[in-house]
Structure 1
Amino acid sequence: MPESLTAKWSTIAVYSQNENRFNPAPGAKITPAQAAARQNVQQRTVTVSGKKLLQVRAK
């Protein structure tokens, strides 16, 4: 069972242009697939220093 998420945004994946998908970030509390399946989780993508990140937080 994954750890519970907080209201603070946390990075769970980094986008890979070579693979054309998000790869799990080290230390992520939840996978992108688990986040997509949960109704109580908000997702967003942000770009930091040219890297596209997938972030989540609890609603």
Structure 2
Amino acid sequence: MESVNKFQSLVILLMVAIGILLGQIGFVQTYSEYLITPFLMVMLFLVFLQIPLKDILK
């Protein structure tokens, strides 16, 4: 079992905390409406493609 899958709940909680902290930065607040859609599209593409994280760069 990959460590990412083993600690999936912890990783999600950590990413939520990082997102909340980044949301406090003025630059991110200003451009977040333009950044959400492209990052969401990339994330969903990778999720539905179902490539393991270690093979993404190949």
TM range (shorter): under 0.3
Q: TM-score, normalised by structure 2?
A: 0.26
- Report the structure number with the largest CA radius of gyration: 2
Q: Is the strand fraction higher in 1 or 2?
A: 1
Structure with the larger helix share: 2
